[in-house]
Amino acid sequence: MLLNIFKSKIHRVKVTQAELNYVGSITIDPNLLEAAGIYEGEKVQIVNINNGERLETYTIKGERGSGMICLNGPAARKVQVGDTIIVISYAQMTPEEAENYQPTIVFPDENNQLPHA
């Protein structure tokens, strides 16, 4: 049996763009994707803190260092620029793998940038 387990998340980033006339997906700064261990093309869940909307889409890389968070296609109707969202990824694991798995959580600043170590 495989379980769907919380793998990682980018916690509380601000939407910088919403592009209705695009094929689909969410465009994210690669710095954020890499820090969270989320791959380009990976299925993610988007949770909008401002309006309670939840949706699923896939990721594409934006411009590195830009802080870009852009909902594309139909998902653009579920957000407003400036909304705060959470980007969540899941992975299938056996119960044994899930037992000791520790998810990665990334906490960007108010400009969608990673804090300096």
What residues act catalytically? Answer: 25, 58
Asked if 74 contacts 4 with a C-beta cutoff of 8 angstroms, the reply is no
Residues 6+ apart with CB under 8 A from 11: 86, 105, 106, 107, 108
Closest CA to 1 of 102, 101, 96, 89: 96
